[in-house]
Structure 1
Amino acid sequence: MTDDFMGPPWQADWTKAAEDNRAGLPAAARTLVDAARTELVTAPDPYFRGIDIDRDLPAGMSVEPVQSTRPAGAHVLYFDYGRGWLWYYFTPRTTDPQIVIDQCVWQ
């Protein structure tokens, strides 16, 4: 077995609904979504585990699990000081780790 676990940048895929929501946003909001996605796919750990691990995120961004009882389940990346969010989950497979963005919302 090798220690060649794939790391960032992670692959990211959007559900159809999330991509449609992103496409329908104003240009300025899409720029914010793209910045949030970039932070997500370049993070060493997309689940931001640990104490204050998301402190390196830009101002206005934070991450939390959808359910505190499922720390390895779906997470939410908030951006634009909570006006928008990406609901996602991460599949840490050895050969093809992937982030799936399930929701994209900005209000």
Structure 2
Amino acid sequence: MTDDFMGPPWQADWTDEATSNYNALPPQARTMIEAARAELVIAKDPYFRGIDTDRDLPTGMNVEPVQSTRPSGEHVLYFDHGRGWLRYHFVPRTTDPQIVIDECFWQ
């Protein structure tokens, strides 16, 4: 084991509720969700901190913290111009950092 913090691509795990919601959606919505998930797992920083954080995201996607007072807490990745979102948190373990998707929604 080294002192280096592992980087992307991150592991992504889904809660049972998020998985159920994902499975209930139509195929075109699942395709958009997979694209949003792909952006999460390849991001250098899963919290997209800093100025112009959404600059590298595809059109119609943006990220923000659920609570501005907790910048390291849960975040929301909006996709399809705000019609859908993934609520997630990042577990920055040294040996196995991962993103946990808590909620999946599309309307």
What's the TM-score, normalizing by structure 1?
0.97
* Corresponding residue of 1:14: 14
What is the 5 A alignment of 1:1-107?
2-107=2-107
5+ residue gaps, structure 2, are none
Compute the displacement of 1:84 (Å). Answer: 0.1
Q: C-alpha deviations, 1:7-27, integer Å up to 9, x for none? A: 101000000000000001000
5+ residue gaps, structure 1, are none
What's the TM-score, normalizing by structure 2?
0.97
- How many residue pairs match? The answer is 107
Identity of aligned residues (%): 76
Q: Which moved more, 1:58-67 or 1:46-55?
A: 46-55
Three-state SS of the structure 2 residue aligned to 1:51 is coil
Residue identity matched to 1:2: T
Compute the displacement of 1:2 (Å). Answer: 3.2
Hey, what's the Cα distance between the residues in 2 that align with 1:83 and 1:2? Answer: 42
Compute the displacement of 1:5 (Å). Answer: 1.6
Compute the displacement of 1:3 (Å). Answer: 4.0
Hey, what's the Cα distance between the residues in 2 that align with 1:53 and 1:29? Answer: 24
Q: C-alpha deviations, 1:32-77, integer Å up to 9, x for none? A: 0000000000000000010112210000000000000000000000
Moved >4 Å (runs of 4+): none
Residue identity matched to 1:47: Y
Three-state SS of the structure 1 residue aligned to 2:64 is strand
